[in-house]
Structure 1
Amino acid sequence: MIGNRITYRTADGVRVPGTWRHAFIRNGDYFLTDLFIYADGLIDCWGLVTLEEFAEKLRCGWVATELPDGARVSAHELAAWRFSEPRTWLTPELLLAEVRDTIDQLNGRPDSTDRCLAAVDAFLADRTEENRTAARAAYLAIPETQRHYALGDMDRKDWPLQVLVTGPGEQLDGAPAGEPVTQEEYDDAIAYFEERAKWIAERPARVPADGPATPFAPAIHLYQSHFRKVPDDPGTTALRNDFPAPVPADGITYPSVAHAYWALSTTDPDARAAIRDANTVYAARDIAAGAPRRDGWEQARTAVMTALLRAKYTRHPALARILLDTHDATLVYDDSDSGFWGDNGGRGRNWTGRLLELVRSGLRAEQAGITLPEGGAAER
Structure 2
Amino acid sequence: MIGRRITYRMADGRRIPGTWRHAFIRNGGTHFLTDLVVYADGLVDCWGLVTLDELAQQLRSGWVATDLPDGGKASAHGLAAWTFAEPRSWLTPELLLAEIRDDIDRLNGRPDATGRCLAAVRAFLADRTEENRAVAREGYLAIPETKRHYALGDMDSKDWPLRVLVAGPGGRVDGWPDDPDKTVSPEMYDSAVAYFEDRFRPAAERPSQLPEDGPPTPHAPAIHVSHTFPRERVDDPGTMGLRNNYPAPIEVDGVTYPTVAHAYWALSAAGPAARAGIAEAGFDVHTVAAAAARREGWEHVRTAVMAKLLRAKYARHADLAAILLATGDATLLYDDVGADYWGDNAGAGRNWIGRLLELVRSELRMQQYGI
TM-score range, shorter chain: 0.5 to 0.7
1:128 aligns with 2:134: no
2:186 to 183, 186, 207: 183
Tell me, what secondary structure is at the counterpart of 1:81?
strand
Q: Deviations over 1:188-240 (max 9, x none)?
A: 10111111122xx24x6599999xxxxx89xxxxxxxxxxxxx9xx99xxxxx
Q: 1:14 corresponds to which letter in structure 2?
A: R
Task: Report sequence identity in percent.
Answer: 69
**Larger RCO, structure (CA 8 Å, separation 6 or more):** 2
Tell me, what secondary structure is at the counterpart of 2:75?
strand
Q: Which residue of 1 aligns with 2:58?
A: 57
Whole-angstrom distance in 2 between the partners of 1:174 and 1:209? 46
RMSD between aligned residues:
2.7
Q: Which residue of 2 aligns with 1:79?
A: 80
Whole-angstrom distance in 2 between the partners of 1:97 and 1:33? 19
Tell me, what secondary structure is at the counterpart of 2:42?
coil
Shift of 1:168: 1.5
CA shift in 2, pair 1:3/1:207, >3 Å? farther
Tell me, what secondary structure is at the counterpart of 2:140?
helix
Tell me, what secondary structure is at the counterpart of 1:32?
strand
Shift of 1:83: 0.5
Flag structure 2 segments of 5+ consecutive residues without an equivalent.
211-215, 218-296, 302-346, 349-371
Q: Which residue of 2 aligns with 1:160?
A: 161
Q: Which residue of 1 aligns with 2:117?
A: 116
Contact 2:170–2:183 (CA<8 Å) still a contact in 1?
A: yes
- State the TM-score, normalized to the length of structure 2: 0.54
- State the TM-score, normalized to the length of structure 1: 0.53
Map 1:1-380 onto structure 2 (within 5 A): 1-27=1-27, 28-175=29-176, 176-198=179-201, 201-202=202-203, 205=205
Contact 2:69–2:87 (CA<8 Å) still a contact in 1?
A: yes
Tell me, what secondary structure is at the counterpart of 1:56?
helix
Flag structure 1 segments of 5+ consecutive residues without an equivalent.
211-215, 218-230, 236-344, 347-380
Whole-angstrom distance in 1 between the partners of 2:89 and 2:205? 40
Q: Deviations over 1:312-336 (max 9, x none)?
A: xxxxxxxxxxxxxxxxxxxxxxxxx
Q: 1:190 corresponds to which letter in structure 2?
A: V
Shift of 1:52: 0.5
Q: Deviations over 1:130-178 (max 9, x none)?
A: 1101100010000011112211212111110010001111111122431
Whole-angstrom distance in 2 between the partners of 1:180 and 1:171? 5
Whole-angstrom distance in 1 between the partners of 2:32 and 2:207? 43
> Which structure: larger Rg?
1
Point out the more displaced range, 151-160 or 29-38.
151-160
Q: 2:56 corresponds to which letter in structure 1?
A: A
Contact 2:5–2:19 (CA<8 Å) still a contact in 1?
A: yes
Q: 2:134 corresponds to which letter in structure 1?
A: T
Tell me, what secondary structure is at the counterpart of 2:70?
coil
Point out the more displaced range, 26-35 or 171-180.
171-180
Whole-angstrom distance in 2 between the partners of 1:71 and 1:209? 58
Whole-angstrom distance in 2 between the partners of 1:209 and 1:135? 31
Shift of 1:90: 0.6
Shift of 1:84: 0.7
Whole-angstrom distance in 1 between the partners of 2:206 and 2:175? 37
Q: How many residues align?
A: 216
Tell me, what secondary structure is at the counterpart of 2:78?
coil
Whole-angstrom distance in 2 between the partners of 1:208 and 1:147? 32
Contact 2:117–2:136 (CA<8 Å) still a contact in 1?
A: yes
Whole-angstrom distance in 1 between the partners of 2:146 and 2:71? 26
Tell me, what secondary structure is at the counterpart of 2:32?
strand
Whole-angstrom distance in 2 between the partners of 1:78 and 1:45? 19
Contact 2:122–2:200 (CA<8 Å) still a contact in 1?
A: no
Whole-angstrom distance in 2 between the partners of 1:89 and 1:206? 42
Whole-angstrom distance in 1 between the partners of 2:112 and 2:195? 23
Q: 2:149 corresponds to which letter in structure 1?
A: H
